[in-house]
DNA sequence: TATTGTTATACTCTATAACTATA
DNA sequence: TATAGTTATAGAGTATAACAATA
């Protein structure tokens, strides 16, 4: 299996006979925090989308609907900051939710420039349904981890996510 | 500060006087793993890009260049799987790196359909420079965490990232 | 003068399918 | 027949600037 005929170069051209991307896990990139975060997030997003797309939501619309349904009365500006999205993207997302009768925009009486996002009855129902779906799919994914690690991860990510 | 005049509704309309997105951290969405991962990843990406964009790289081109410079002789297909990108996106990324003289495509003698990506001398230099930049910016971000947590995080994310 | 939401626009990223050359 | 890479293209996501209403 190992045809090692004269490796006089600093980096062997024919290299090992092993193939497939698994071998990349030994490298420094693969231990990089940014890389690990990106990959874990990609996997998490894919799972979440598979779970809530049947409900007509994606990660972002789900977040907005959830905050509205939690009675937080978020303004669009607040959503923009919290979700790290441009204000114009928030407009589009809420347009969609509003057209589907899940939320409404109410003018904030304290500042008539601002809109406050409120969930309708339908919005509340969908928020609850999809919340359960998301939590189930998360629980499934995390079952690979010992409970102690699950708790640590949530706590540590909380610190990083809240930090600038 | 608290003008609580008759809250006969299940959800107060005028709510608390507190404003700003900080108050959303109490909600269930904010404790959601998917949300925390997404946000931590967004922050990590922003930092990383600020650091390596001056070098003409982004997260993805950095990963590819690093694997090439590590002498892994990755095929485009392997890169596609490892980075969870479509093969056609890999083409574009390598086209760019190759035009800038950082890598070359070599036909794999074992399978002439496949290309193997090899770093040039310039590629090695840039990979090393940017590796240091990335590690420094990461260290800075993580200094907010006790060392024990840094180690736990890397380990736990490694498990999640490697899992399906 | 500054801020909230909106519109328009250009740019990047992503997903898909069809094609070629090799296996 | 299946796979590696490529090309083309349409769709989604992102970033920017300008504008009206309000503070």
**Residue A79 and residue B13: Cβ atoms within 8 Å?**
no
pLDDT digits over B40-84, tens only? 999 999 999 999 999 999 999 999 999 999 999 999 999 999 999
DSSP B126-144: HHHHHHHHHHHHHHHHHTT
Indicate whether B17 pLDDT > 70: no
**Residue A72 and residue B24: Cβ atoms within 8 Å?**
yes
Measuring from the CA of residue B110 to each C1', which nucleotide is nearest?
C23
Give the mean model confidence (pLDDT) for residues B21-31: 94
Q: How many CA atoms lie within 13 A of A49 on its CB side?
A: 9
Pair A84, B42: CB distance under 8 Å: yes
Torsion of CA B140, B145, B149, B150, to 10 degrees: 0
State the Cα angle at B34 between B28 and B35, rounded to 5°: 55
Indicate whether B154 pLDDT > 50: yes
pLDDT the model gives residue B67: 98
pLDDT the model gives residue A17: 57
Q: What is the DSSP letter of B9?
A: S
pLDDT the model gives residue A142: 87
Q: What is the mean pLDDT of chain B?
A: 89
Residues close to nucleic acid strand D (C-beta < 7 A): A 58, 85-86, 88-89, 92, 111-113; B 75-78, 80, 87-88, 90-92, 94-95, 105, 111, 113-116
pLDDT the model gives residue B114: 97
Indicate whether B131 pLDDT > 90: yes
In whole angstroms, D10 C1' to A15 CA is 40
pLDDT digits over A102-128, tens only? 999 999 999 999 999 999 999 999 999
Indicate whether B24 pLDDT > 60: yes
Mutate to test the interface with A, among B1, B20, B33 (most CBs of A within 10 A): B33
DSSP-based three-state secondary structure for B159: helix
CA distance B78 to A15: 15
DSSP chain A: --------SSS-SS--S--SGGGGGGSSGGG-HHHHHHHHHHHHHHHHHHHHGGGT--HHHHHHHHHHHTT---BHHHHHHHTT--HHHHHHHHHHHHHTTSEEEEE-TT-TT-EEEEE-HHHHHHHHHHHHHHHHHHHHHHTTS-HHHHHHHHHHHHHHHH--
CA distance A50 to A48: 5
pLDDT the model gives residue B6: 31
Nearest to B133 by CA among B45, B42, B40, B55: B55
Indicate whether B124 pLDDT > 60: yes
**Residue A41 and residue B38: Cβ atoms within 8 Å?**
yes
Spatial neighbors of B44 by CB under 8 A, at least 6 apart, are A33, A34, A37, A38, B141
User: What is the pTM (predicted TM-score) of this model?
Assistant: 0.88
> How close A99 comes to chain B (CA, Å)?
22
pLDDT digits over B73-118, tens only? 999 999 999 999 999 999 999 999 999 999 999 999 999 999 999 9
pLDDT the model gives residue B1: 36
**Chain D footprint positions (protein CB, under 7 Å):** 3-9, 13-17, 21-23
pLDDT the model gives residue A141: 87
Torsion of CA B141, B145, B151, B152, to 10 degrees: -120
pLDDT the model gives residue A57: 96
Low-confidence ranges of chain A (pLDDT < 50): 1-16
């Amino acid at each position: 299996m190992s045809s090692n005929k004269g490796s006089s170069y600093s980096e062997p051209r024919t290299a090992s006979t092993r193939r497939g991307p698994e071998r990349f896990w030994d490298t420094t990139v693969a231990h990089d925090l940014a890389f690990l975060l990106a990959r874990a997030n990609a996997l998490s997003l894919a799972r979440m989308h598979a779970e809530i797309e049947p409900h007509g939501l994606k990660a972002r619309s789900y977040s907005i609907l959830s905050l509205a349904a939690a009675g937080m009365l978020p303004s669009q500006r607040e959503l923009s900051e919290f979700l790290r999205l441009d204000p114009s993207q928030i407009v589009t997302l809420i347009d969609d939710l509003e057209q589907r009768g899940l939320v409404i925009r109410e003018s904030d009486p304290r500042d008539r420039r601002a809109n406050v996002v409120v969930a309708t009855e339908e919005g509340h129902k969908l928020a609850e349904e999809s919340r359960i779906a998301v939590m189930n799919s998360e629980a499934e994914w995390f079952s690979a981890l010992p409970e102690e690690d699950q708790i640590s991860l949530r706590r540590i990510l909380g610190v990083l996510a809240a930090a600038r």
